[in-house]
Structure 1
Amino acid sequence: MSGPREGEGVRRNRRPQQLLLAFLGSLVLDSDCPPLSTRVFLHVLGDLGVAEAAARATLARMTRKGMLERTQEGRTARYGLTPAAEKLLRQAKERVNSPRPFTHADGEWTLLSYSMPESRRDLRHQIRARLAWAGFGGLRDGLWIAPGRVDIAEVFAGEQFAEVTGVADAFLAAPMSGTDVSALLRKAWDIEAIRAEHESFIAAWRSDRGRKGRWIPRLTLLGADWLQLLRTDPGLPASHLPGDWPAPDSAELYRERFDELEPHASAWLRELLQSDAGRR
């Protein structure tokens, strides 16, 4: 099977798990799909350039993490979303589908301070990933800032984060008169890197217009790129950004490409499932 073709959002090496989560969130979550066989996953990931060994390892790893539930039908292994995975993907989908995902009220900021022992590197990594998705940038060690009002309880929902609530303090804040907010934001975020991500996304997916076929791979790549952009751009207030900031163009383009690709990809997935059922 061939990998992604030039122009189909090719900008970075995407990990198989990123692709799998984009596929599950776009086409499987809240659909009438039964648990998918290993063959279906190998077909989808293979068409995205993922080797069979890496695809199988990703399925096994996501099963161990409690994201997928594995069942056996004779010689066929099938995988379905666990309740925890469904909850996580639905939470992400709210922001993915937002018409204005990069917009927050000007003047409101959430400050978060926490301390975690260096010995808990595994948890520290998970915390940082959660904070980045929630729009936080690091001002200095242990102090994070995010635009708007962030629900900290939702950020740290889950048993694995239970100990964080005892070592974290959060405040809703507003800058005092004389504070150079623009300079402060550049300490917490690389503004030019965020712009570059938007420009790369726009260049890649504008070139996707007019293409036909490869619906599932293209929709999956679109989803993976969009999730990466949402992790990168916290949605800083427009008053502190250049007037030609590209975020609105990215949001409009994502919705346009998704609306075109999703019906075709869903139909293609139904055909793939019918073909797979015939091989039982």
Structure 2
Amino acid sequence: MKPRSLMFTLYGEYIQYYGGEVWVGSLIQLMDKFGVSESSVRGAIFRMVQKNLLKVRKIGNKSFYSLTELGKRRIEDGVKRVYTTQSQSWDGLWRILTYSFPEEKRELRNIIRKELNWTGFGVISNSTWVSPNSLEEQIMEMIETYKIEDHIFLFSAASIVSHDNESIINKGWDLQAISDEYDVFIKQFTPKFEELREKALNNLLSDDECFIERTNLVHQYRKFLFQDPGFPRDLLPAQWSGTKARELFWNIHQLISIPAVRFFESQYEPAPDREIEARRDKAINPFREIYV
């Protein structure tokens, strides 16, 4: 696991439910479980601070790290997409985004492209992106964050006159390739589920093993946030592999979540000047029974 990506998983899965701030020593101990060295942890933290994703508080000789507003938005968007139930029906609207950046803002343009890809937009022509999902709020937050009101326009439309919906989908996304990746996930984690279930039945699962397995499960599943646009189900192909993969993800997650969170709590050290109201129930069961 790459240290920065693993750190995002730890903040999204655990730390955000315990005040959102953690002692660097706790991070080092937790990431050591995945073979990440102390120097790699500190290097990843340094880069995330530079990118305005993390901020630090010093108390005595200890450093405590929490997410910046930009970091929180990244985490919240990711957690919502991982754990929110998708709607069966589409509202019939395409969200169409266009942008134009001068050459001196080339780096900012590349950042916006990554943000749009992360959010689930597909590119259908040069500087034109579309999505069938109601992402207006996220896009307006992105515009405000980067102060790019003069460079981006967001529209919604009930139809695209020159192309039908299937053509737009095929142009903006490769659903077959995404489905194939879900099949790989299913092939990898189906035997893992059987193994963990057998151990659980025989009371052979330790807390630290469950922490490692849950974190790895989420870490692997998160990669689909960069691939799967999260369409409403009535826009997806029949027998969509993502549905089966999600059910498998849920089954494993719930099987091992209680001991995984218990292990995290044994390693977590909050700042001494803060009274933490831990949301343990959310850390154990973050699945959201709402529709997007």
Q: Could you say which residue in structure 1 is the equivalent of 2:15? A: 28
| Aligned residues of 1:137 and 1:145 also touching (Cα < 8 A) | yes
How many residue pairs get aligned? The number is 258
Match of 2:82 among 96, 102, 115: 96
Matches within 5 A, 1:197-236: 197-209=181-193, 210-211=195-196, 212-213=205-206, 214-236=209-231
Structure 1 pair 37/178, CA: closer, same or farther in 2 (3 Å)? closer
Match of 1:67 among 53, 72, 75: 53
Q: Could you say which residue in structure 2 is the equivalent of 1:19? A: 6
Q: Deviations over 1:28-55 (max 9, x none)?
A: 103257x433222122222223233221
Matches within 5 A, 1:52-201: 52-100=38-86, 105=90, 107-151=92-136, 153-157=137-141, 160-163=145-148, 165-175=149-159, 179-201=163-185
Structure 1 pair 66/176, CA: closer, same or farther in 2 (3 Å)? closer
Structure 1 pair 228/156, CA: closer, same or farther in 2 (3 Å)? farther
Instruction: Give the secondary-structure state (helix, strand or coil) at the position aligned to 1:157.
Output: helix
Structure 1 pair 80/134, CA: closer, same or farther in 2 (3 Å)? closer
1:38 maps onto 2:33 in alignment = no
Instruction: Give the secondary-structure state (helix, strand or coil) at the position aligned to 2:154.
Output: strand
Relative contact order (alpha carbons < 8 A, sep ≥ 6): 1 or 2 greater?
2
Matches within 5 A, 1:247-266: 247-266=242-261
Structure 1 pair 235/273, CA: closer, same or farther in 2 (3 Å)? closer
The alignment's TM-score, normalised by the length of structure 1, stands at: 0.80
Quote how far apart the aligned CAs of 1:162 are: 1.0
Instruction: Give the secondary-structure state (helix, strand or coil) at the position aligned to 1:119.
Output: helix
Output the aligned Cα RMSD. 2.7
Q: Give 5+ residue unaligned stretches, structure 1.
A: 1-13
| Aligned residues of 2:90 and 2:234 also touching (Cα < 8 A) | no
Paired with 1:170 and 1:156, the residues of 2 have a C-alpha distance of 9
Structure 1 pair 47/256, CA: closer, same or farther in 2 (3 Å)? same
Paired with 1:261 and 1:98, the residues of 2 have a C-alpha distance of 19
The alignment's TM-score, normalised by the length of structure 2, stands at: 0.77
Amino acid in structure 1 at the alignment position of 2:6: L
Paired with 1:32 and 1:239, the residues of 2 have a C-alpha distance of 38
| Aligned residues of 1:100 and 1:248 also touching (Cα < 8 A) | no
Structure 1 pair 219/56, CA: closer, same or farther in 2 (3 Å)? same
Paired with 2:78 and 2:253, the residues of 1 have a C-alpha distance of 16
Structure 1 pair 65/179, CA: closer, same or farther in 2 (3 Å)? closer
Structure 1 pair 156/61, CA: closer, same or farther in 2 (3 Å)? farther
Paired with 2:124 and 2:49, the residues of 1 have a C-alpha distance of 36
Q: Could you say which residue in structure 2 is the equivalent of 1:246? A: 241
Paired with 1:77 and 1:99, the residues of 2 have a C-alpha distance of 37
Quote how far apart the aligned CAs of 1:108 are: 2.3
Quote how far apart the aligned CAs of 1:192 are: 1.9
| Aligned residues of 1:149 and 1:172 also touching (Cα < 8 A) | no
Amino acid in structure 1 at the alignment position of 2:225: L
| Aligned residues of 2:82 and 2:222 also touching (Cα < 8 A) | yes
